[in-house]
A and B are shown apart, each in its own frame.
Chain A
Amino acid sequence: MIIDSHTHVDRVGWYDPPETIVRLMDEAGIDQSIIMTYRDAPDSEGALEYIAQAVQKYPDRLIGYARMNPRRGEAAHRLFVKAMEVYGFKGLKLHPVGNLCHPARQETIDMISLAVRYKAPVLFHCGDEELTLPLQVAQAAEACPEATVILGHCGGYFHTRDAIRVAERHPNIILETSAMPYPQVIKEAVERVGASRVLYASDGPGCDPTIEVLKVKLAGLTAEEQEAVFYRNIKHILDGVRAGGGMS
Chain B
Amino acid sequence: MILDAHVYVGQCLFGYGRSLDEIRADMDRLGIDKAVLVPVKPRDYHLAPMNDLVAEAVQRHPDRFLGLCRADPWQGETAAAEVRRGFEGLGACGLYLDPWEENFQANDDVVVPVVQEAGRYGKPVVINAGHVRVSHPTQIRDLASRFPAVQFVACNGGQINISGMLQYEARRMLETCPNVVIQTAGTYREDFLEEITTEVGEERVLFASRSPVYDQAFEMARVRLAHLSASQKEKLWGLNALRVFEAQ
Residues of A participating in the B interface, judged by any CB pair closer than 8 Å: 14, 95, 97, 125, 127-129, 153, 156-157, 179-184, 203, 205-208, 210-211, 214-215, 218
Contacts and interface: CB of A to CB of B under 8 A. Distances in A.
Contact of B189 (A156, A183, A206, A218): A206
Contact of A214 (B163, B165, B189, B218): B218
Interface string B142-169: 0000000000000000001111110000
B188 A214 contact: no
Nearest to A211: B221
Contact of A179 (B165, B188, B217, B222): B188
B217 A218 contact: yes
A181 B163 contact: no
Task: Tell me which of A125, A156, A181, A205 has the highest count of chain B C-beta atoms within 10 A of its own C-beta.
Answer: A181
A215 B225 CA distance: 13
Given A14-B164, A125-B163, A128-B160, 19 more contacts: A127-B161, A128-B161, A128-B162, A153-B162, A157-B186, A179-B189, A181-B215, A181-B218, A182-B215, A183-B218, A184-B215, A203-B189, A206-B188, A206-B189, A206-B191, A207-B190, A211-B218, A211-B225, A214-B221
Contacts of B218: 181, 183, 211, 214-215, 218
Interface of B: 160-165, 186, 188-192, 214-215, 217-219, 221-222, 225
- By secondary structure, the B interface counts as loop
A95 B217 CA distance: 31
Given A211-B221, A211-B225, A218-B217, A157 B190 contact: no
A207 B215 CA distance: 16
Nearest to B217: A218
Given A207-B188, A208-B190, A210-B225, A127 B215 contact: no
Contacts of A127: 161-163
Contacts of B221: 210-211, 214
A181 B190 contact: no
A84 B222 CA distance: 36
Contact of A183 (B160, B215, B225): B215
Nearest to A156: B162
A206 B194 CA distance: 10
A202 to B, nearest CB: 10
A14 to B, nearest CB: 8
A211 B226 CA distance: 9
A212 B49 CA distance: 38
Nearest to A208: B190
Given A206-B191, A215-B218, A218-B215, A129 B161 contact: yes
A130 to B, nearest CB: 11
Given A97-B163, A157-B186, A205 B191 contact: yes
A114 to B, nearest CB: 25
B219 to A, nearest CB: 8
Contact of A180 (B162, B189, B191): B162
Contacts of B162: 125, 127-129, 153, 156-157, 179-180
